[in-house]
Amino acid sequence: MMVEVGNAQPFGFRFDPATTALIVIDMQRDFLEPGGFGEALGNDVSLLRAIIPTTSDLMALCRNKGVAVIHTRECHKPDLSDLPAAKRDRGAPRLRIGDPGPMGRILVADADGAAIVPELMPTGTELVIDKPGKGAFYATPLMAHLTSHGIKSLILAGVTTEVCVQTTMREANDRGFDCLLIEDATESYFPQFKAATLDMVRAQGAIVGWTARYTQLRDAWHD
Ligand code: C5J
């Protein structure tokens, strides 16, 4: 049965829950907690924690409706063989990727900092995709997984709006998925970048996709 989020922007978003997945991007301690990668880059990480309750509600809604929840983590192998020098050496962060930090090595897969925050822990059966880039399709099995499960539409949440979330949404759009970004389940260290991203993805007749608030999705989703 199709669901229509009539008040999505820039116009109603229609999806079939049977062919839809939720992708929760990079809700990791490294981005949301002090001492991680986000803070090492000079950001105020407290802003990002505000979306945890809405993201948790969104995950619960999807699980209740039988829609698969997929999680991503931006992180690298312990030997850093998947970390290009251009990414490691960019700028002048306090700690670089791979350096030891208070939550273990920064953005390394087996470190505590790379873990998803406890409030949004995946269930034992949910797919967790580790990705070395900003987009979740680059150098990962995500496309093969979505194709083999007949997924056509994606609901997106996570951090940060203009980096990994937007990159993934653009990658997904180019691969033929209809994408709905949940406005209050995504956040940026820069409020103006979040606002601009929401505007630009839905401009020109949903050129990249749609946006809606969590309650707009929830209220539209009747059995
Ligand atoms: C960043 C991300 N911002 N998950 N990563 O470096 O958006």
Q: Can you give the CATH number for the domain in which 94 is found? A: 3.40.50.850
Q: Is 162 in the pocket of ligand 1 (CB under 6 A)?
A: no
Catalytically annotated residues? 26, 131, 164
What is the number of the ligand 1 atom nearest to the C-alpha of 162? Answer: 7
Split at pLDDT 50, 70, 90, the class of 188 is: very high
Please say if the pLDDT value at position 223 is more than 80: no
Calculate the CA 30 to chain-centre distance. Answer: 14
Q: Is 39 in the pocket of ligand 1 (CB under 6 A)?
A: no
CA neighbor of 187 nearest in space, from 71, 93, 51, 87: 51
Q: Which of 71, 106, 131, 163 to mutate to test the pocket of ligand 1 (most atoms within 8 A of CB)?
A: 163
d(CA 44, CA 32) in angstroms, rounded, equals: 9
Q: How much distance in Å is there from the Cα of 4 to the middle of ligand 1? A: 30
The pLDDT value recorded for residue 121 is 98
Domain residue limits at 81: 3-220
The average pLDDT across 179-206 equals 98
Q: Please give the mean pLDDT across all residues of the chain.
A: 97
The average pLDDT across 128-157 equals 98
Of 90-99, 138-147, 148-157, the least confident: 90-99
Please say if the pLDDT value at position 87 is more than 90: yes
| Confidence (pTM) | 0.98
Q: Is 26 in the pocket of ligand 1 (CB under 6 A)?
A: yes
Report how many domains make up the chain: 1
The pLDDT value recorded for residue 222 is 85
Quick one: CA dihedral 130, 152, 176, 9, positive or negative? negative
The average pLDDT across 73-94 equals 96
